[in-house]
Amino acid sequence: MPKIFLIAAQEWRLQYRKKLAILLLSVFQLLLIASLFNGWSYTKSVDHYQTHFQDVVNQQWASQPDRHPHRVAHFGTYGFRPANTLSLFDSGVNPLLGSSLFLEAHRQNASQFSESQSGGNIVGFIPISTANLLLILWPLLLIVLAQDSMNSEIRNKRFALLQTTGVKLLDLLGGKLFAYFCLSVLFLLPTFVLTGLLALYLPTQSDQDLALRVTTLFVGYLFYSLWWIAFILIVSTLIKQSMTNLSLLIATWLLMCFILPKLLTNSAYLCVDTPSQSVFEKELIAATEKIGNSHNPNDPYFANFKQQVLQLYNKERIEDLPVNYAGLVMAEGEKLTSRVFDEHYQTLLNQYKQQNRWLSSGMLFSPYLLIKEWSMKISATDSRHFFEFEKQAEQYRYNLIQELNHLHAEKIGYHTNKTQRLDHGTWRDLPTFSYSVPDFSWSTQASGFEKWIGVWWFLFLLLWFALIKRKGGQYAAS
């Protein structure tokens, strides 16, 4: 173990003497700090706008005059998705997806006002996230720093001299691995400390949950760094030609961080087709009309529903019912349309899951895809969190509309259905929409396949270490 520490200390001294290494690390650290402050400012602005507009629509809802409940149901309201605290670090899919839903009777609308559609002009511009900088540029910087580390020791015969003192190849490799891993810890730590401090000024999550998320992110990015360090050193050990070594590492970096993700994304869309928003809505309307139309008095389903209601109350005419039949029809219609929507929406989610499984298969060939997905999960900025927002918004919409239909049936007389109004204070008593951010345990749920990917990458590296140990004597003789 002391040998490893001595080798690591020598590697640190060598890197310290390289002015280019110090310059690159300093510039990249400043770039990370700048991106964090930019992400914090952007997230704070988004959160301000989302909160402001949610307050505006809530006030508009409460300020409605005396109205018929069904008119209020069509007046509708908006549900806004607040900015996740750690979106300042990893924006994930947030810029690509909508941030609000219009909630009204009889239909479920698509999310609106994504930053990509608006060009980011609402709050400045969409920042390049700190997570993307670390995922893409940090491995490249490690390649620049460490690609010739083992190669030069073997090429210049220094390793042969070290062997005379009892240093084995794995000792040398372990010492350099330890050196660059410690460098990664020291370099990444300020970024995540600053992330946690800046996130404290964004009131979306509890301090305990935030600390757990930031710590988990830090560990994940250290794992990512460790894999790249080990891979760089292994390639540097096995390939003696410096330019060949560098070319292979750059090609691997391009493949894992750019080419493979793009190929998998395009192939996922080709293999699992998903309908456009317009096609989805047309299919939804067609399916709803087949079941029953609550606005059509001659609809067979609602003709049968009418007879069931009359039998339930033991009446012969709807005029004699103790409740307003129109309100019952609206409630039944809402139940039907919501059921159809839930079925079609679940089918759509299953298609998205198939696409994600296709993309997840790429984690076997790229640790970039593994840590990118993990980072978005911990930061609560992946598509699963977006679908949770839509689920909560739809549940709120359905409960709200059914409450208004209940008021229609219980408070509005059948004979005064067109003229009667309810007091405006009624709307202020109804709950407003509030999105509940899932906790850490929900965010980190993963399939069994994903849980074993990290193990696979460590086993992959261990095989290479075993190969190097077996061939260790060859390097001393060469």
**β-pair partners for 100:** 80, 112
Provide the pLDDT for residue 448. 54
Contact 257, 220 (CB under 8 A): no
Where the chain has pLDDT below 70, the residues are 1, 112-127, 203-208, 295, 297, 446-451, 465, 467-478
In whole angstroms, how large is the CA radius of gyration of the chain?
30
Over the range 229-251, which residues count as b (16 or more CB within 10 Å of their CB) and which as e?
A: bbbbbbbbbbbeeeeebbebbee
Q: Residue 20: CB partners within 8 Å, gap ≥ 6? A: none
Compute how many other C-beta atoms are within 10 angstroms of the C-beta atom of residue 22. 12
* Contact yes or no for 146/176 (Cβ under 8 A): yes
How much is the pLDDT for 189?
Answer: 97
Predicted pLDDT of residue 476: 43
Q: What are phi and psi of 73, to 5 degrees?
A: -60, -35
Whole-number Å distance between alpha carbons of 88 and 384: 18
Report the pLDDT value the prediction gives residue 126, as an integer from 0 to 100. 45
Q: How far apart are CA 153 and CA 167, in angstroms?
A: 12
pLDDT score for 94 = 86
Length of the chain in terms of residues written = 478
Kindly write down the DSSP assignment for every residue of 316-338, as one continuous string: SSGGG-SS-HHHHHHHHHHHHHH
For residue 179, give every residue at least 6 positions away whose Cβ sits within 8 Å of its Cβ, in sequence order, or none: 7, 8, 9, 11, 12, 15
Residue 376 structure tokens = 């978005």
pLDDT at 288 (0 to 100): 79
Question: CA 442 to CA 445: how far, in whole Å?
Answer: 6
**Cα–Cα dist 21/241, whole Å:** 21
Other C-beta atoms closer than 10 Å to the C-beta of 337 total 24
- DSSP codes joined into one string, 178-243: HHHHHHHHHHHHHHHHHHHHHHTTSTTS-HHHHHHHHHHHHHHHHHHHHHHHHHHHHHHHH---HH
Identify the pLDDT of residue 214: 95
Residue in the structure block whose two tokens are 């019912």 = 321
**Residue appearing with tokens 């990118």:** 372
Q: What pTM was estimated for this model as a whole? A: 0.88
Tokens of 450: 């994903």
